[in-house]
Chains A and B, each alone.
Chain A
Amino acid sequence: MSVRTAELFMAIAMFLASLGLMWTVYADDLAIGWVAGRGPGSGMWPFWLSFGMAGASVWTLVRWYNGVTPESRSDDPYIDPETVFLVGVTVAAIFFLLLLTNIIGLYFSMMLFLLFYVKFIGKHSWPLTASVMLGMPVATYMLFEVALNKYLPRGLPFFESIFLHIDDFRYSLMY
């Protein structure tokens, strides 16, 4: 897809999203007008801002049609074909990092993510991969759970129980 086509699609998508926002406010039965003696109703602010978004999108579409924006005159690819794989794989990897966090917990999920990214995308050596793969969860645990008392997601009970053992070990050292 060229930059020119992408700008058209983006402006249309943003126009439709703005209409969707306006509809959401309207359908929620919020007062989008002026309440006498009180000023704006509860829905007026988001409704008219969304209306402004729709207007700005139409303005962009007009500029696109007239070829005013540099993007509307560019036939370059929207995402560089050489890097589309890297970008796509990165987004997919973060997606799976989040998905797996609900199942196996954030720590195991981040280890898999780092293994995949450092070893298979970066093609780095095993010693470097292993040190990043182990160092990052340990540093995260120390900073967030030990220092900040913030418990990060640990996944299903089986995976959670592994961390309970680690916590027990930590408490036995600390108290």
Chain B
Amino acid sequence: MDSIFNLLVAGLLQSFEPLNLAMIFLGCLAGLFIGAMPGLGSVNGVAILLPVTFLVPPTSAIIFLAALYYGAMYGGAVSSITLGIPGASTAVATVFDGRPMAQSGRADQALMAAAIASFVGGTISVILFTGFAPPLAAFALKFGPQEEFALMLLAFATFIGLGGDDIPKTIFSILIGLVLAAVGFDIISGKPRLIFFGMVEFQRGIEFLVLAIGIYGIGEMIWTLEHTKGAVQMHKVDFGFDKVKSNLRQVKDYIGSTFLGSFLGFFVGTLPAAGATPAALMSYGLAKSFSKDGDSFGKGNVAGVAAPESANNAASTGSMLPMLTLGIPGSPTTAILLGGMIIWGLRPGPLLFSESPDFVWGLIGSMYVANFVTVVLNIALIPIFIRVLAMPFTVLAPIIFILCVVGVFATTDRMFDTWLMLLLGCMGYLMRKLNYPVAPAVLAIVLGPLTERSLRQSLISSQGDPMTFIERPISLICILIAVGLVSYPAISGFMKRRRAEMEAAE
């Protein structure tokens, strides 16, 4: 415990270094604006801005991107409340009560509640993260390739069991991500694989960023253009220092639901398929169930804003726990962060804590600082956000398209990849319209090479005996949970049908 404290202090001191502090400010600011923009969330911001971070050392880069992730979670509430359009899917639940509050002239109260709840959620989750991460990483040091493969299976199984999307389409999405990750030279035999139409460009493989920016940059912007028709309607917000003071006195109205959302968000966020969106929705549902005034939810109850906002912030920190300790991302955003870590030359996983303690603890320290910076910036800049949100989408969209093209080219140095990004972005958009979930594909393209490597390493070391996955207890437990998760939708469907039949018979 003492050593954790010392490492945390060292991390905090590291985050106060001028460059890192500047990264925290820039990241929070960028995140707040990106989160506030309709259609753009943390995942889009991290995907589009990852190439820019090559300018600074890896620790500063991850601090910037993590601060952006945080900021975007705060910022998402701004457009949910003032425009009635969630800044990102993570802020969908905030619209339920944020919008009616804005319509009844209480937008300032909703914005303050969102900021304070986000701060509480962020702080509680960072404390939980600090407590859980080192022992989990130490435990994960025992993992061999068998356990790694079983964990990857578990990550994919959570998407099938808990993702809540169409199951065959989710499976398709995972598999296509894994296949795209297999393009290029085989890691063991060195033979070229899936070189489509004999194009030599495919020999280098498909960078995960090409798919991520294609889907979350191009595809998402086209989706938003279609849904907003290039125009949005904003509510007036009366915001000043007096309003901040009076709103601070109302914290007691929603502190209970904020604490509930914070703990729930953290633990839901650690699950790979869950992440911030289901955490926010679950937190909203629980706050409504526990409230004495449940009927007022959806009509402008401030606890209905605080509960999802605390949960989505806590979930964003929670999703970093499996990323840093096990090398498995807890959300699409952390999948991109994980890909970034590989580009920076780091090896995500339990060894990170012993091999790169400066990196890990610098990041953890920065989370504490970023939380304070974001809440201050958020409250101070609300009037500016509102002005920026009035920016027409037909100005914002082309700027983002260009950032996507430049970002992909700067990462891979190939025009071919920008064409591929456009193609994958359009495909992603067309498939998303038919309820094919895109997040599993992005997660799969990041985890694909690790999954295949751990599978083949395990089988080579056991002379091709697949029983190796079952003979090791941790691997067996993970596989059993994965099987349980995959079977869960079928079992729950069967139980529902059975109950309905029994009720009909009665």
Contacts and interface: CB of A to CB of B under 8 A. Distances in A.
Residue in A28, A53, A56 with the greatest tally of chain B CB atoms within 10 Å: A56
B402 A113 contact: yes
Contact of B409 (A78, A114, A153): A153
Given A49-B175, A87-B225, A148-B52, A132 B419 contact: no
A161 interface: no
B394 A45 contact: no
A60 B176 CA distance: 15
B45 to A, nearest CB: 16
A46 B168 contact: no
A56 B171 CA distance: 7
Contact of B422 (A41, A98, A114, A118): A98
Contacts of A156: none
Contact of A40 (B218, B434, B436, B459): B459
B182 A46 contact: yes
A97 B404 CA distance: 12
Contacts of A144: 406, 410
B459 A39 contact: yes
Interface residues of B, number: 61
Given A56-B175, A82-B229, A38 B182 contact: no
Nearest to A115: B398
Nearest to A102: B415
B430 A10 contact: yes
Given A45-B455, A78-B433, A147-B55, A14 B409 contact: no
Contact of B168 (A49, A63, A117, A143): A63
Contacts of A53: 172, 175-176, 179
Nearest to B411: A150
A124 interface: yes
Nearest to B177: A49
A163 interface: no
A57 B172 contact: yes
B282 interface: no
Given A70-B435, A148-B55, A50 B179 contact: yes
A28 B192 contact: yes
Nearest to A56: B172
Nearest to B409: A152
Contacts of A28: 191-195
Measured as residues with beta carbon below 8 angstroms from the partner, the interface class of chain A is 35 or more
B405 interface: yes
A127 interface: no
A118 B402 CA distance: 13
Main secondary structure of the interface of A (DSSP, over half): helix
Contacts of B419: 98
A21 B419 CA distance: 20
A25 B179 CA distance: 11
B464 A36 contact: yes
A82 B406 CA distance: 30
B347 interface: no
B299 interface: no
Interface string A32-61: 001111111111011001101100110110
B182 A113 contact: no
A123 B231 CA distance: 12
Given A52-B171, A148-B54, A25 B194 contact: yes
Interface in B159-211: 166, 168-169, 171-172, 175-176, 178-179, 182, 186, 188-189, 191-196
Nearest to B413: A150
Contacts of B398: 93, 113-114, 117-118, 132
B19 to A, nearest CB: 14
A123 B222 CA distance: 18
Interface in A133-175: 136, 140, 143-144, 147-148, 150, 152-153
A34 B436 CA distance: 32
A32 to B, nearest CB: 11
A110 interface: yes
Contacts of B226: 79-80, 83, 86-87
A46 B178 CA distance: 8
Contacts of B405: 94, 97-98, 101, 106, 110
Nearest to B466: A39
Given A40-B459, A56-B169, A101 B415 contact: yes
Interface of B: 52, 54-55, 166, 168-169, 171-172, 175-176, 178-179, 182, 186, 188-189, 191-196, 218, 221-222, 225-226, 229-230, 392, 394-395, 397-399, 401-402, 405-406, 409-410, 415, 418-419, 422, 426, 430-431, 433-436, 452, 455-456, 458-460, 462-464
Given A45-B182, A45-B455, A83-B226, 12 more contacts: A21-B179, A24-B194, A49-B179, A53-B176, A57-B172, A71-B435, A94-B422, A97-B405, A98-B405, A98-B422, A152-B406, A152-B409
6 contacts: A10-B434, A83-B226, A101-B418, A117-B398, A122-B392, A150-B410
